Amino acid sequence: MYKRFLLTILIIISCLTVTAKTRKAVYIIIDGVPADQIERLKPEAIFDIASHGAYSRAYTGGEIGGYSQTATISAIGYTNLLTSTWFNKHNVGGNTNLKPNYNYWTLFRIAKEQQKEFKTAIYSSWTDNRTVLIGEGKKETNFLKIDYVKDGYESDTVNFPPKRNDLHIFDIDEHVSKEAAKSIRTDAPDLSWVYLWFTDDAGHSSGNGKFFDEYVLKADQQIGRIWEAVKFREANYDEEWMVIVTTDHGRGENGHGHGGQSVRERTIWISINIPVNDYFKQCEPGITDIAPSICRFMGFEIPRNIRWEQDGIPFIGEVDIAHMKTMPYDNTVCLSWESFSDKQPVTVYAATTNKASEGGKDQWIKIATVNAGQKKYVVDLSGLPNSKFYKFVLETPHNHLNRWLQK
């Protein structure tokens, strides 16, 4: 009887001391591959990842004709993802002359501002992804440092001499993917970004066709290396990994170009290895939803003034509302939204300044609290400071939405 009692106590103690698996995240950008091409080719690694979680079409480019409309260009797409904002906030408007607004924190800045230390990594051909878009070592980013770096190969003409059709860029991607897989196996950074470039060059040079398809499938093999490294970590260590594969933009009709707002240029895709929520399943997620999803998975705390500027919402875990819209009428504005949880409270806030863009804090005015199932609320602007510019936030227990209004 005594031995049985001791055994019971030991079992209870062991259950209480079991710790959760260490969470880690890696996202992979394969440049410029439209959704219809991915769905036609069904690359093995990308869809094996999705078989453990989900796949969906998604969008980039902000709101067509709205204040957030954003060109479908590479560096812009990376920054949409990094900051969970569109061009009107992050200020990256092309691939050159880059001037990011670092007041909208990147995913890597958020990771480095946590009380707990998180190790970060970037595996990329393009140095500017780290030094400019993330802003490593800059005063404006609080001198953040990436812990594991494998990049800059576009400048290494000794090991990667120029080749016809820019095939040396494919050689670089081969090297990047191998270095990323090796580092994930041995270093296991907490947060990693892998960037694969050549697919975009293949599209630019050949357009839709066998050449482009061939190198999308070869890029999938590179992704497969990284996926195998993740599976190795999960099989041999007490870790749980989030893997997201996506693209930064689609392409025009003939496959050569991009940058505009056509459906094919705006339509991207997301493959993820963990379960997703109803928002991901029922709506079209955006590229700006990736960073909030990684933050939620990793348990990152985000200061309210930074979080409320994010334009995306998590596609894992619970969400209450989505798709906020504004409709001004005389001196009122109707805020509307879609509800996933009708009984949850929605608190409405407004600000008439945009100090966040300059690194300051806006003075938010609490207006009302209603049930999510109400799906709209009319704000009387006469109760707010007189302004031609307004920002609105809807806050619920599980997510927020924000929107600007220019009168």
Sign of the alpha-carbon torsion through 328, 84, 373, 281:
positive
Contacts of 177 (CB under 8 A, 6+ apart): 123, 194, 196, 222, 223, 225, 226
Q: At what angle do helices 290-298 and 74-83 cross, to 10 degrees?
A: 40
pLDDT exceeds 90 at position 348: yes
**30: nearest Cα among 206, 169, 207:** 169
Structure tokens at 216: 């999308």
Contact 313, 279 (CB under 8 A): yes
pLDDT exceeds 70 at position 143: yes
Kindly tell me the burial class for residue 2, based on how many C-beta atoms sit within 10 Å of its own C-beta (0-12, 13-18, 19 or more): exposed
Question: pLDDT tens digit string along 238-265?
Answer: 999 999 999 999 999 999 999 999 999 9
Tell me what the pLDDT averaged over the chain comes to: 95
pLDDT exceeds 50 at position 177: yes
Neighbouring-strand partners of residue 345: 371
**347: nearest Cα among 370, 321, 318:** 370
Contact 102, 138 (CB under 8 A): yes
Structure tokens at 10: 């030991």
Looking at the domain 22-307, which fold is it? Alkaline Phosphatase, subunit A (3.40.720)
How many C-beta atoms surround the C-beta of residue 296 within 10 A? 20
pTM of the entire structure? 0.95
pLDDT exceeds 90 at position 43: yes
Architecture of domain 321-406: Sandwich (2.60)
The residue extents of the domains of the chain are: 22-307, 321-406
Hey, is 350 helix, strand or coil? Answer: strand
pLDDT exceeds 90 at position 10: no
Contacts of 360 (CB under 8 A, 6+ apart): none
Kindly indicate the confidence band of residue 407, based on its pLDDT and cuts at 50, 70 and 90: confident
**298: nearest Cα among 20, 19, 24:** 24
Structure tokens at 134: 């993330």
Structure tokens at 383: 């109760």
Question: pLDDT tens digit string along 150-171?
Answer: 999 999 999 999 999 899 999 9
Q: Which pLDDT belongs to residue 4?
A: 55
Q: Tell me how far CA of residue 39 lies from CA of 197, 243, 293, in angstroms.
A: 20, 19, 23
- State the Cα angle at 217 between 199 and 176, rounded to 5°: 60
Q: Are strands 120-123 and 148-150 parallel, antiparallel or unpaired?
A: parallel
CA–CA distance, 329 with 76 (Å, rounded to integer): 33
Strand segments (E) across 273-406:
321-329, 332-339, 345-351, 365-371, 376-380, 389-395, 400-406
**199: nearest Cα among 155, 150, 258:** 258
